[in-house]
Chain A
Amino acid sequence: MRILVQEAAFDLGAESNAFAEAQSNMGAVVTFTGIVRNNVEGTLQSMRIEHYPGMTEKALTKIAEEASSRWDLGDVLVIHRYGDLEPGELIMMVATASKHRVHAFEAAEFLMDFLKSRAPFWKKEITSDSAEWVAAKDTDEDALKRW
Chain B
Amino acid sequence: MDVVYFAWVRERIGLPKERVDTEASSVMELVEELRAREDRYAIAFSDLSALRVALDQELSDFDASLSGVREVAFFPPMTGG
Interface of A toward B, CB cutoff 8 Å: 34, 50, 52, 54-55, 58-59, 80, 91-92, 112, 115-124, 133-136, 140-141
Contact = CB atoms under 8 A, between A and B. Distances in A.
A112 to B, nearest CB: 6
Contact of B80 (A117, A124, A133, A141): A117
Interface stretch (B18-26, B36-44, B69-77): B69-77
Contact of A121 (B54, B58, B80): B80
Interface of B: 4, 6-8, 54, 57-59, 73, 75-81
Contacts of B59: 59, 118
Given A50-B7, A58-B57, A136 B77 contact: yes
A123 B78 CA distance: 9
Given A50-B6, A55-B73, A133-B8, A118 B78 contact: yes
A117 B76 CA distance: 10
B78 to A, nearest CB: 5
A80 B73 CA distance: 21
Contacts of A80: 80
B57 A116 contact: no
